[in-house]
Each structure stands twice: as C-alpha cells, then as structure tokens.
Amino acid sequence: MYKRVVLKLSGESIGDKTNHSGISEISLKEVAKEIKFAVDKTKVQLCIVIGAGNIFRGKEVNFIERTTADYMGMLATVINSLALQTSLESEGLQTRVMSAIDMPKIAESYIRRRAIRHLEKGRIVIFAAGTGNPYFTTDTTASLRAIEIGSDILIKATQVDGVYSSDPKKDKNAKKYKSLTFMQAINKQLRVMDTTAFSLCMENNLPVVVFDLYKKGNLLKVLQGKSYVGTIIK
C-alpha cells in the first residue's frame, strides 16, 4: 500500500457522458465518490492533477498563438480543479487547490512545503494551472509534482484498463501490456503520456500505473498496490 500518491485525471473524466465536454454533475459525483471510497479505506495522502480537455486544450487550437492558447488551457484546469474541489468537499473530504499561476482570491499559490503540510494534515491537494509555463502538458505537471512532493507512485486514470499496443476501441487485436519499461513506452510511441513526462519519471525512478477509473473499486485496488489492475510502467 502506498503512503503518498499523485492521481492524474483527464478533464473528460468530469465531462458529459456522451461527448466528454463541459462539466457534468453526474460525472463529478461519480469521480468524487470513487476517490472518497479509496481514500477512506487506505488513508493515503492524495494529490490530484486534472486536465482541461473537456473545456480547452491549447495545443489543439491553431487559430490562437500557441503560448496564449496554452495559458487558456491552464486557466481551464483551474475551473476543473474548483469543480472537483466542490464535489470532493460535498463528500466530506478536506481539500486545497494550489495554483501554479498566482490567483489568491480563488486558490493558494503552489509552494512545495505547504503542499506537503496539507497532505500531512490529511487534506487532498489539487494542483491547478499546470506548471505555470506554456508547452508543458498536465501529464508533465503530474510527473513534476509527484517528484517534488516525494510521491511513491503516479497513477493515471483513463477510459481503458491499461496500456495497449493500439487503441483497443478501434483495434480488436490490440495487445494489453501488464508491465513496461519507460524506454519501451517511449520507443513504441504508445502516447499514454508525453515523452517529457516519461523522461521525468524514468530519471527519478517514479513508477506509473495506468488504469480504468470507470470500473468501480479500481482506484482502491491501485492504491492498495494490486499488481493485476492496469499496466505498470517502471
């Protein structure tokens, strides 16, 4: 069982069930309940990084200059973080949103030591606004924050039950990997995380587990260290 964990969520995880856009009350509640169940059972120190694909993804917009688009995406992660915070607190969990871009009226500024102190007090910490710099993904943010706070593992929640050789929704012959090395994941261009994120994890010996968030109880099993859930990259 792990003591301290960073959970990477996609923005789509709290979006509408059909097109994964916007913010859905139903999706938010489902994610919050799953987190509540797992945290209560394990007492793990949990941090969360959430993407913004349900609202705005900077690198996919070509009519706005990339740096500006990335900052817009960072602001979208703040919106998602505040929504997730509200949903988690409605489940009785104490949370703090910490932003890489200073916005003191709505979130604490990210300070590493303060984040660790929140964790030690049993609060869930949600890291918002990416790294505060353009050209870095929220996967890279999750890797960086996990290393900074001394996380035991980075776990990435997806819509499939691990890493496959190709998209299992499109290719019935796609092979699921039980485990991979970081170099294998990079060389095979599996794209479950970007190369910068993989490199950070590899250089700092931070293992990554990719799992299906939508199967009830999976988050708890991952936090308990069950090796049969998802794919581990190390």
**pLDDT given for residue 141 in this prediction:** 98
Residues with Cβ within 8 Å of residue 203, at least 6 apart in sequence = none
**pLDDT given for residue 194 in this prediction:** 92
Which domains are seen in the chain, by residue range?
4-233 (3.40.1160.10)
Q: Is the pLDDT of residue 168 over 90?
A: no
**pLDDT given for residue 201 in this prediction:** 97
Percent share of the chain, pLDDT over 70: 100
**pLDDT given for residue 86 in this prediction:** 98
**pLDDT given for residue 193 in this prediction:** 94
Distance CA 214, CA 113 (A): 33
Q: Is the pLDDT of residue 166 over 90?
A: no
* pLDDT one-digit tens code per residue, 42-52: 999 999 999 99
* pLDDT one-digit tens code per residue, 40-94: 999 999 999 999 999 998 888 889 999 999 999 999 999 999 999 999 999 999 9
- What secondary structure, in 3-state letters, does the chain show? CCCEEEEEECHHHHCCCCCCCCCCHHHHHHHHHHHHHHHHHHCCEEEEEECCCCCCCHHHCCCCCHHHHHHHHHHHHHHHHHHHHHHHHHCCCCEEEEECCCCCCCCEECCHHHHHHHHHCCCEEEEECCCCCCCCCHHHHHHHHHHHCCCCEEEEEECCCCEECCCCCCCCCCCEECEECHHHHHHCCCCCCCHHHHHHHHHCCCCEEEEECCCCCHHHHHHCCCCCCCEEEC
Q: pLDDT grade, residue 170 (50/70/90)?
A: confident
Mean pLDDT of 202-209: 97
| Averaged pLDDT score across all residues of the chain | 95
Single-letter amino acid code for the residue at 152? D
User: Cα-atom radius of gyration of the chain, to the nearest Å?
Assistant: 17
Q: Is the pLDDT of residue 227 over 90?
A: no
Q: Is the pLDDT of residue 195 over 90?
A: yes
Q: Are 204 and 225 in contact (CB under 8 A)?
A: no
Q: Is the pLDDT of residue 169 over 90?
A: no
**pLDDT given for residue 60 in this prediction:** 85
Mean pLDDT of 217-233: 93
Distance CA 193, CA 144 (A): 13
Q: Is the pLDDT of residue 228 over 90?
A: no
Mean pLDDT of 112-141: 98
Residue the block writes with tokens 């710099």: 133
Q: pLDDT grade, residue 191 (50/70/90)?
A: confident
Q: pTM of the prediction?
A: 0.95
Distance CA 41, CA 36 (A): 9
Q: pLDDT grade, residue 97 (50/70/90)?
A: very high
